[in-house]
Amino acid sequence: MNGIPGHMTASVLVEPRVLEVREVAVPRLEPGDVLVELTAVGLCGSDVHFYEHGRVGDLVVEQPLILGHEAAGVIAAVASPADGHRIGERVAIDPQRPCRWCAACRAGRSNLCERMRFPSAPPENGAFARYLAVPADAAHPLPETMSDDEGALLEPLSVGIAAVRKAGIVPGSRVLVAGAGPIGILAAAAARAFGAAEVIVADPVAARRAVALAHGATRVVDPREVAELDGLMDAFIDASGARPAIAAGLRSLRGAGRAVLVGMGAASVEVDLFLIQSRELVVEGLFRYVDTWPAAIHLVASGLVRVDDLVTARGGLDDLAAFFARNGDAEAMKFIVDPRVRRLPDHAES
């Protein structure tokens, strides 16, 4: 690849809670790939799970791993001459690399691909590095009006869009969202943008409830108040993973209401089967997304959803360990890393 160095700087998870900034090989392009020089990478909750525990579910870190998958950057090289005109193009990355041939892919559920390769999910290295190789059609052009930070945050917004689609949100819907972390807030924002008439967000932290109010929620409540919603809501999106929140959220649903479980928390929960049966509730899980980037770009570019003000701080690769340590702070939302630098001079707080 002309003009591209053979090695790059990356933040590598060596073992749980141990990061090292190392020189590693630049990813090799596969047929149809583009190489993106990354300019903004967000810290995700799944990254935190890998950092703290060395695993998420049955995905286990067994060798040094580069985390990160919420990413935007500039195309620096291409595998196919047909994509040569894209060099220098600013893009946001859909990080999934499905096989495109398995039963799930052929059925339009590529997020459930039997042979999925996903940056930051072992053993696939991720985006806290100078470069990332991705399929050309996974690199979505960014409008000039959108910042690189906004491009990176299209990934968590995509989770919110996927949840709202699965929940069947239509104009006039009444929606309860449990959890006012970034995913919950962006799910609420997407629900409002999709026409929901009422979007209630429940979270025990007042500061997070305030952020939800600024991003589409029509009302915010303490989780203890959710009991008052018994049988009133059309849809419930759990972004907390908390057993009590899931139980209360299911009870908030009217007959034939839909629940979408997104949050990573308790490995198992008890459910009221009679409630599900007698109200004919639809309860579904959510795993990533399918074809959400065009909608996410439209929502942000049009101003229907704001993501840039969710950035708590920006830094370089050397700042990543401190960001992991701060991720659980009540006032923290999103940390953005610029992998081109070791440390940003201003280490800006937003």
Q: pLDDT at position 82, please?
A: 96
Is the pLDDT at 331 greater than 80? The verdict is: yes
Q: pLDDT by residue (tens digit) across 285-318?
A: 999 999 999 999 999 999 999 999 999 999 999 9
Confidence of residue 345 (pLDDT cuts 50, 70, 90): confident
Q: pLDDT by residue (tens digit) across 160-216?
A: 999 999 999 999 999 999 999 999 999 999 999 999 999 999 999 999 999 999 999
Of the chain, the percentage scoring pLDDT greater than 90 comes to: 91
Q: pLDDT at position 333, please?
A: 96
Strands 198-202, 55-56: pairing kind: unpaired
Is the pLDDT at 344 greater than 80? The verdict is: no
Q: pLDDT at position 264, please?
A: 85
Instruction: Pull the structure tokens for residue 270.
Output: 């008890």
57's CB contacts (< 8 A; 6+ apart) are none
Contact in structure between 34 and 77 (CB atoms under 8 Å): yes
Is pLDDT larger for residue 184 or for residue 328? 184
Is the pLDDT at 347 greater than 60? The verdict is: no
Q: pLDDT at position 3, please?
A: 78
Q: pLDDT at position 194, please?
A: 98
Q: pLDDT by residue (tens digit) across 70-108?
A: 999 999 999 999 999 999 999 999 999 999 999 999 999
Of the chain, the percentage scoring pLDDT greater than 70 comes to: 98
Any idea where the domains of the chain sit in the sequence? Answer: 7-153+307-337, 162-285
268's CB contacts (< 8 A; 6+ apart) are none
Q: pLDDT by residue (tens digit) across 62-74?
A: 999 999 999 999 9
Mean pLDDT confidence for 97-123? 97
Q: pLDDT by residue (tens digit) across 212-253?
A: 999 999 999 999 999 999 999 999 999 999 999 999 999 999
Q: pLDDT at position 346, please?
A: 60
In CATH, the architecture of 162-285 is 3-Layer(aba) Sandwich (3.40)
Round the average pLDDT of the chain to a whole number and report it: 96
Which residue from 12, 8, 1 is spatially nearest to 320, judged by alpha carbons?
12
3-state DSSP call for residue 21? strand
Instruction: Output the CATH code of domain 7-153+307-337.
Output: 3.90.180.10
Q: pLDDT at position 16, please?
A: 94
Residues shown for the chain: 350
Q: pLDDT at position 338, please?
A: 98
Q: pLDDT at position 350, please?
A: 56
Mean pLDDT confidence for 341-346? 81
